Amino acid sequence: MDDVINGYHRRWWKEAVVYQIYPRSFYDSNGDGVGDLEGLRRKLPHIKGLGVDVIWLSPHFDSPNADNGYDIRDYRKVMAEFGTIDDFDAVLTEAHALGIRLIVDLVVNHTSDEHAWFVDSRRARDSDTRDYYIWHSGKDGGPPNDWTSIFGGPAWTKDATTGDYYLHLFDPKQPDLNWENPAVRNEVYALMRFWLDKGVDGFRMDVIPFISKDQEFLDLPEQHVAKPQFVYANGPRVHEFLQEMRREALSPYDTMTVGEAFGVTPQQVPDFIDERRGELDMVFQFGAVEVDRGADGRWVPWKLPDLKAVFGRQEKQLDRHCWPAVFFSNHDNPRIVSRYGDDSSQWRVKSAKVMATLLLTMKGTPFIYQGDELGMTNFPFSDISQFDDIWARNAYRDEVENGEYSVSDFLANQNRLSRDHARTPMQWTAGAHGGFTTGTPWLAVNPNTSEINAENLGEGSIYAWYADLIHLRRTHTALVYGDYLDLMPDHPRLFAYRRTTEAEDFLILLNFDAGDQTFQFPMNFPPGNIVMGNYPAPTNGAEPLRGWEARIYRL
Ligand code: TEU
Ligand code: CA
């Protein structure tokens, strides 16, 4: 594929649609309440039926699960609850046989504190792997600086054995690796080759911009205290490390990489993904999933023009050498239909289709999160005991137990933003525990599984809509490589844009509201054929859009 469309080099990963699996919550094959690799293998036909090209598997490695696998104890072992390396190989082989590639999660900013490297590192100041982590002596009876953990509390923990502090930008059970040490980098490249040699097709890289730390370890500048990620990301050697990683680990393989650009501003993105630099293929930018977050990170109502602005910026800031990744949900976010759509019984299906249309007709590689193709919704949390997520539990400790917020304020915020909304088990059936497990699920299944489940995936279903969109995208390169033009960036309820190449021209109209919206077709811009719509087609093609209507025209 070395030809060029609309100025872009064609690449398989630009044309792919990705489906993210959170294995703990996908399908439990042995009744222990925890999803597993054999469960995933059995459900591959569900994924194949959508027509996706790539699976991103959230961490499947040995872990004590302080952060559900984002704290890795052994990078070459499969998490015992998920199965064995043979189960992994079976998933990989079967996925490949179905024409689906598999990328795995690379979590190498930090390890678990139970990783053998850290166990040894904390043993003594002169232990073999002491310098695999970031140790400093305290200052004035406290930690080396004022950095805070993304999960709340200080980013340094004093270790009793030597009295030194180690850095953890997340939980104390997730000590940060010291990438200044070449031995650490070589360990990482070796473990990457281990999985590449098995046949995996690439990596999603967890908080990858955090790997290089400014060695001065200065206190946080005032303006970054509320969002320290903008200090932790983009350290002085991050691009050097990523180029080295490409050379040492990735270059012999045909891979796809997508980095989580947490703490990266839109202006900084090209430095990570410009194809001439040899770093990452794509990054996840946080613009779309932060439209409903205030300066303090708590929930605020979002506005459609802010969401549009994310894509307007993207079109301006990324040239033909850069390729975007598009997502509205993942294992760290609430459910797409509850957040951006309307999850009432009247509008849930229609609005889920509006969001699916946006995801799959936008420029960039789309990432679907498991369950969104069923229109799964947020969970109705009513008590702290219902949360598993370390972020929620720490927030409770920091916000409620210290008296800053009431329990009901805490719950109101978490009911909007909790990461556990995404982590409740897949709703396969209307039966007990949504057919996810025959045992007791590790996290409660949403009670609405009686209505929202994978039993009816036929005509009119959200699942069928995703499959149709994926097919449309696959058969029209303008929906992949075409220019993106927002026709009314300020309209508060209607999202209208074109995707065009010299050969093709699509117009997408999305009504983000329950009321009707008129759209003025410009004179030189007649309503063309409606190629997809989530209502019966209007008679002349130009009638007002009905509540949460989605239409794709080919002009
Ligand atoms: O996420 C980093 C990150 O940006 C989130 O922790 C975010 O701050 C949080 O979801 C609050 O909105 C990655 C993983 O995706 C996440 O699951 C891990 O917990 C985290 O890194 C640590 O590995
Ligand atoms: Ca299981």
Residue in 206, 292, 388, 468 annotated catalytic: 206
Q: Reply yes or no on whether 315 is catalytic.
A: no
- Under DSSP, the state recorded for 438 is S
Q: For residue 436, report the phi and psi dihedrals to the nearest 5 degrees.
A: -70, -40
Between CA 14 and CA 481 the distance in angstroms is 8
Name the closest-CA residue to atom 5, ligand 1: 332
Between CA 521 and CA 55 the distance in angstroms is 39
pLDDT at 295: 86
Atom of ligand 1 nearest to the CA of 109: 23
Of 72, 207, 296, which is best to mutate to test ligand 1, by the most ligand atoms within 8 angstroms of its C-beta?
A: 207
Of 70, 72, 174, 296, which is best to mutate to test ligand 1, by the most ligand atoms within 8 angstroms of its C-beta?
A: 70
Q: Are 325 and 364 in contact (CB under 8 A)?
A: yes
| Beta-strand pair 156-158/101-106 | unpaired
Between CA 370 and CA 21 the distance in angstroms is 6
| pTM of the complete model | 0.97
Q: Reply yes or no on whether 260 is catalytic.
A: yes
Token pair 């002169």: residue = 126
Between CA 551 and CA 532 the distance in angstroms is 6
**Helix and strand counts by DSSP (H, E) for the chain:** 17, 20
- Ligand with smallest separation from the Cα of 171: 1
pLDDT at 1: 52
- Burial category of 504 from C-beta neighbours within 10 Å (exposed 0-12, middle 13-18, buried 19 and up): middle
Which of 54, 59, 34 is closest to 98 using CA atoms?
A: 54
- Burial category of 262 from C-beta neighbours within 10 Å (exposed 0-12, middle 13-18, buried 19 and up): buried
DSSP-assigned letters across all residues of 99-133: T-EEEEEE--SB--TTSHHHHHHTT-TT-TTGGGB
Between CA 154 and CA 266 the distance in angstroms is 28
Using alpha carbons, list the distances in angstroms from residue 60 to 35, 71, 80, 286, 331.
11, 11, 9, 24, 14
Residue 75 token pair: 């990078």
Query: 162 CA to middle of ligand 2, Å?
Result: 40
pLDDT in tens, the chain (555 residues): 569 999 999 999 999 999 999 999 999 999 999 999 999 999 999 999 999 999 999 999 999 999 999 999 999 999 999 999 999 999 999 999 999 999 999 999 999 999 999 999 999 999 999 999 999 999 999 999 999 999 999 999 999 999 999 999 999 999 999 999 999 999 999 999 999 999 999 999 999 999 999 999 999 999 999 999 999 999 999 999 999 999 999 999 999 999 999 999 999 999 999 999 999 999 999 999 999 999 888 999 999 999 999 999 999 999 999 999 999 999 999 999 999 999 999 999 999 999 999 999 999 999 999 999 999 999 999 999 999 999 999 999 988 988 999 999 999 999 999 999 999 999 999 999 999 999 999 999 999 999 999 999 999 999 999 999 999 999 999 999 999 999 999 999 999 999 999 999 999 999 999 999 999 887 677 777 899 999 998 777 778 999 999 999 998
Query: 349 CA to middle of ligand 2, Å?
Result: 30
Pocket of ligand 1 (CB under 6 A): 67, 70, 107, 150, 170, 206-207, 260, 262, 331-332, 391, 419
Atom of ligand 1 nearest to the CA of 332: 10
Token pair 């720490």: residue = 394
Residue 224 token pair: 């970054």
Name residues whose C-beta falls within 8 Å of residue 158's C-beta, 6 or more positions apart in sequence. 138, 143, 164, 165
Give the bridge partners for 509, in sequence order.
Answer: 496, 551
Between CA 171 and CA 45 the distance in angstroms is 37
- Under DSSP, the state recorded for 404 is S
Which of 309, 350, 357 is closest to 468 using CA atoms?
A: 357
Reported for 231-236, long-range contacts at CB under 8 A and 24+ positions apart, including other chains, are 231/147, 231/263, 232/147, 232/169, 232/263, 233/207, 233/209, 233/261, 233/262, 233/263, 233/264, 234/209, 234/263, 234/264, 234/268, 235/209, 235/210, 235/211, 236/212
Between CA 474 and CA 515 the distance in angstroms is 32
Between CA 458 and CA 80 the distance in angstroms is 36
Residue 186 token pair: 């070589």
Give the bridge partners for 62, in sequence order.
Answer: 74
Name the closest-CA residue to atom 8, ligand 1: 150
Query: 206 CA to middle of ligand 1, Å?
Result: 8
Name residues whose C-beta falls within 8 Å of residue 315's C-beta, 6 or more positions apart in sequence. 363, 483, 484
Token pair 């959230």: residue = 58
Residue 296 token pair: 């303090």
Residue in 28, 62, 105, 260 annotated catalytic: 260
